[in-house]
Amino acid sequence: MKTILQSRLNKSALLLVTIASAMLITNPKKDTYVDYAGKRLITEIQTSICQEPKLPRGLLWEEVSKITSNTCRSGLATGLAFQNNSIKELIANSTEQQNFFVFSTYTTKISQYNFKTIGVFGNFLTFQK
């Protein structure tokens, strides 16, 4: 009975060590977070600025609305691409990282906005805006 329990404990410990090792290896670095946050911020800006205009219903107006929205997004994307380094620098300077070895948390404060993100297994999850 003791050997079965000991065998299960050994397997559980090995599994925990394996998972913790994978988390340690894939814990994202701050520069990876800055890239993620920069892309996310650009998307948020495009979404908030380039909303489709409210036009009357009809095939012609729907096409005009799509063209207007797409033109806004592509023009804004071009302009923001030129500012990409500035956006990343702003995020890097406004972010505090707490490294817990198997995961990290990032708090970014820009103007009146406060973003909290967790980085684990090479991915990010923003859980507070």
| pLDDT single digits (tens) 33-73 | 999 999 888 888 777 777 765 655 655 555 555 666 677 77
Output the pTM of the full model. Answer: 0.76
- C-beta of residue 39 within 8 angstroms of C-beta of residue 124: no
- C-beta of residue 80 within 8 angstroms of C-beta of residue 66: no
- C-beta of residue 128 within 8 angstroms of C-beta of residue 114: yes
Between CA 115 and CA 44 the distance in angstroms is 13
Whose CA is closest to 30, among 110, 77, 83, 98? 98
Question: According to the model, what pLDDT value does residue 49 have?
Answer: 75
Question: According to the model, what pLDDT value does residue 83 have?
Answer: 80
Q: How many domains does the chain have?
A: 1
Question: According to the model, what pLDDT value does residue 90 have?
Answer: 93
Question: According to the model, what pLDDT value does residue 5 have?
Answer: 84
| pLDDT digit string, tens, across residues 69-111 | 677 777 777 777 778 788 899 999 999 999 999 999 999 998 8
- C-beta of residue 41 within 8 angstroms of C-beta of residue 68: no
- Split at pLDDT 50, 70, 90, the class of 23 is very high
Token output for 90: 């702003």
Question: According to the model, what pLDDT value does residue 75 have?
Answer: 73
Question: According to the model, what pLDDT value does residue 74 have?
Answer: 76
Structural domain that includes position 98: 2-128
Can you give the C-alpha Rg of the chain in angstroms? 22
Question: According to the model, what pLDDT value does residue 99 have?
Answer: 97
